[in-house]
Amino acid sequence: EIVLTQSPGTLSLSPGERATLSCRASQSVSSRYLAWYQQKPGQAPRLLIYGASSRATGIPDRFSGSGSGTDFTLTISRLEPEDFAVYYCQQYGSSPLTFGGGTKVEIK
């Protein structure tokens, strides 16, 4: 099973700042099979990024994804108030599909 380790666990930032979230895989994952989701309290996850770097429909361009192999990054260029949430990475390069433990982006 591929374990995805997200860091940091919590990121405390102010609106307007840049957020850099890391997702590290225990074995190499094809970029095609790496996705990122945003989840707000009481809501279902929302797809942000698929294929490591492609933004989903309707996702603002302040969200970007990058990386390959075992190291992937989600960057939010300038935090808006609505971006404070928990973010999860997900892989299905090999079964079983797994999610990372999440990074909480909170208001500093």
Partner 1 sequence: QLQLQESGPGLVKPSETLSLNCTVSGGSISSSSYYWGWIRQPPGKGLEWIGSIYYSGNTYYNPSLKSRVTICVDTPKNQVSLKLSSVTAADTAVYYCARVVVYPQYYFDYWGQGTLVTVSS
| 29 CB-contact burial (10 Å; exposed 0-12 / middle 13-18 / buried 19+) | buried
d(CA 19, CA 74): 8
Asked whether position 54 contacts partner 1 by CB under 8 A, the answer is: yes
Q: Which of 47, 62, 70, 73 binds partner 1 (CB under 8 A)?
A: 47
The backbone torsions φ and ψ at residue 74, rounded to the nearest 5 degrees and listed phi first, read -110, 125
- Report the SS3 class of residue 32: helix
Q: What is the three-class DSSP state of 36? A: strand
Least separation in angstroms between CB 40 and partner 1: 12
The residue count for binding partner 1 (CB under 8 A) is 24
92 belongs to the binding site for partner 1 (CB under 8 A): yes
Tell me the closest approach of the beta carbon of residue 5 to partner 1, in angstroms: 12
Given the rule CB under 8 A, which residues bind partner 1?
32-33, 35, 37, 43-47, 50-51, 54, 56, 88, 90, 92, 95-102
